A and B are shown apart, each in its own frame.
Chain A
Amino acid sequence: MKRLFLAALCGALFLLMLYPLEASGYGVRFMLQLFMWVALAQSWNLISGLTGYVSFGHVAFFGTGAYAGAILIATHGWHWVPASLLGGLAAMLLALVIGYPCLRLKGPYFAISMLGLNEVMRVLVSYFEGLTGGGLGLSLPTLHASVQIYYAMGLAALAVTAAAHFIITSRFGLRFMTIREDEIAAEAMGIDTARYKLYAFLLSAFIPGVVGGFFARDQGYIEPISVFPLVTTITMIVMALFGGQGTIWGPVLGAVALFVFQEMVWARFLYLHEFFFGAIIVVVVLLMPKGILGVLRERYRLPRTI
């Protein structure tokens, strides 16, 4: 079973590697965005799925990375790959500054403080016009790099999923999950919860920052509203939730399912798009809060590595 799964996984990765050779421009861009959502949903899973601290403003890291990357590319002439990686570091720095105080908050308080962080980042980015272009946004020099960005996004998605695999199957990650199940008990067992929550938070902030940089390069133009929307946070949460939060493959499954569905179905309802999204959120929360993998896990015995 495990071997079969591994073989299927390698086959899928191999096909995805060859895909840009055959695909149309639309196909490549579709897959590139899909990878982005996998990476984002999985990153959210690292902090919220594993430690139970619901980050309701995770897009703040995405936006920070996008702006850091875009500024380096546009005004300092950096190549987009190191610029995006630095964007990831910038997001981690933000996570450090904000996580140190905010991770002491519990439950809805942490969630809302993250929501506020996102609003503040948007305000700050709009305010410092000299650096960020303010509300007018920031244009990047033109570059046709869809295929390269495809591989970069794919790698980011793979990296964060591999990280989730490593964390969930290790002693290190067991500490995260102990915090989720019962923080007081975790502390009583000698886990330095403050430190491990911060680790999880930093880990979950890096990839959104990097992906934000890729996104900025791919779009060629960013503005405060396009990289700090609350809806992006909610989308990553719903993807992770739909697939099964706290699992390795749940966020991947959820991202693929929801993104494909979005492109195939919602895109046709131009005016009711958000209404359907709202309805889907309500349905997922009420009918399958444990996600697809959670439901499967209740029915069948699944290994922990799924």
Chain B
Amino acid sequence: MNVIITPIMVGQVVISGLLAGALYSMVALGLALIFGVMRVVNVAHGTILMLGAYTTFWWFHLLGLNPYLSLVASMSLMFFLGILLQRTLVVRVVNAPELSSLLLTFGISIALVNLARLVFTADLRSVEFITGSFIAGPFALSKSRVISFAFAVAITLLAFWFLQKTKLGKAIRATSQSSEMAMVCGINVRRIHLYSFGIASALAAAGGSLVAVMVAIQPQMGDVYTFKSFLVIVLGGAGNYPGALLGGMLLGLVEQLASLFLTTQLSEAVAYLLLVLVLLLRPTGLLGGRAR
């Protein structure tokens, strides 16, 4: 493979990396919330993202409305699905060994994916709404990706504002710092778990909706995002919410750079290598997180 790599190509790749990274950050922030408050790795996170993507597809397909408006619908639907899942199932494994929560959320995941395949069929579906690219100097930027980037940044900022400034957001952060202390301070921890799962699912759904506008979707699209989100929270440091932002951007960059120098297939392996290296060298994440 003797491809000449020009600075412009690197620039292009860096930009696409950041565009993809913002989406990873947003989705991973959801997983980080659940992991932060409950120490549960939600394997069904990507599945909820998939359901969000289908919400957008049907919204566009049946109603013919602007798919970006469907963000509201998919986020609120998945917020309630998240609350329902937490309330009925996940609540029972919050303090159980990690095997229980991993398996439980995996069970939920394959059951939902199976239902999605039955109802939506396994065909690739796409939302053809915006095509073409913005041309900015030497770079060509896919329009849908730029718009998705803007939405992802806006939603992530909103989530951060919520976590920093509102009473509920502060209660969520307190719970993820120490469940017991939060309880002593009069925070209803079970209710915080409920809201966290709901908000996390809404963030995943937003990711799905934005993905649906960019690429074709199918019922099994979610698994990749579950793994990548976990990678992001490891990179950023578990329980460290700003870390998820940095981790997402970093993952986007590394993936795109790796696909420039290697093949796309191998760039997945590079992401894994990154996971193992970070876990070994800086187990508390790049920004430092809670000790484990």
Enumerate chain A interface residues (CB-CB to B < 8 A): 48, 52, 54, 56, 101-102, 104-109, 111-113, 115-117, 119-120, 123-124, 126-127, 230-231, 234, 237-238, 241, 271-275, 277-282, 284-286, 289
Complex: chain A residue closest to B40, CB-CB: A108
**B275:A113 contact, CB within 8 angstroms:** yes
- Are A237's CB and B103's CB within 8 A? yes
Is the C-beta of B57 less than 8 angstroms from some C-beta in chain A?
no
**CB of A94, distance to nearest CB on chain B (Å):** 13
8 more CB-based (< 8 A) A-B contacts, given A102-B279, A124-B269, A277-B110:
A108-B41, A109-B283, A119-B268, A271-B118, A275-B111, A279-B107, A286-B93, A289-B100
Interchain CB contact (< 8 A) of B272 among A101, A119, A237: A119
- Known contacts: A113-B279, A275-B114. The answer to whether A56 contacts B109 by CB under 8 A is no
In the bound complex, what is the Cα–Cα distance between A182 and B158 (angstroms)?
Answer: 42
Residue B184 lies at the interface, judged by CB distance under 8 Å to chain A: no
User: Which residue of the partner chain, among A112, A230, A274, contacts B114 with CB atoms under 8 Å?
Assistant: A274
The 9 closest A-B pairs by CB, nearest first: A278-B111, A281-B107, A274-B114, A275-B114, A282-B107, A278-B110, A278-B107, A120-B272, A108-B98
The reply to whether B109 and A241 form a contact with Cβ atoms under 8 Å apart is no
Q: Is the CB of B272 within 8 A of A273?
A: no
Residues A281 and B104 in contact in the complex (CB < 8 Å), given A116-B227, A120-B272, A127-B263: yes
Interface size grouping (class) on chain B: 35 or more
In the complex, A120 Cα to B93 Cα: how many Å? 29
* Chain A residue at minimum C-beta to C-beta distance from B89: A282
| A48: nearest chain-B partner, CB-CB | B99
- Contact partners of B102 in chain A: CB under 8 A: 54, 56, 108, 111
Indicate if the CB atoms of B41 and A111 lie closer than 8 Å.
yes
Q: Which residues of B sit under 8 angstroms from A241, Cβ to Cβ? A: 99, 103
A112 and B118 contacting across the interface, CB-CB below 8 Å: no
Residue ID in chain B nearest A116 by CB atoms: B272
Query: Quick one: closest A residue to B234, CB to CB?
Result: A109
- Chain B residues touching A, majority SS: helix
Which residue of A has the minimal Cβ distance to B292? Answer: A106
Cβ contact within 8 Å between B92 and A127:
no
Closest to B118 in A: A271
Check: B2 CB closer than 8 A to any chain A CB.
no
Choose among A52, A277, A279, A285 the residue with the greatest number of B CB atoms under 10 Å from its CB: A285
For B99, B230, B265, which residue has the most chain A Cβ atoms within 10 angstroms? B99
A101 touches B114 (CB 8 A): no
Q: Nearest residue in B to A280 (C-beta to C-beta)?
A: B107
**Is B29 an interface position by the 8 A CB rule?**
no
Contact residues of B between 24 and 46, Cβ < 8 Å to A: 35, 39, 41
| Given A127-B265, A237-B99, A109 and B114 contact (CB-CB distance below 8 Å) | no
What separation, in Å, do the CA atoms of A253 and B103 have in the docked complex?
Answer: 19
Question: Which listed residue, A56, A113, A115, A231, touches B110 by the CB 8 Å rule?
Answer: A231
- Which residue of A has the minimal Cβ distance to B109? A278
Contacts of A127 in B (CB 8 A): 263, 265-266, 269
The answer to whether residues A285 and B104 also contact, given A106-B292, A127-B265 and a CB cut-off of 8 A, is yes
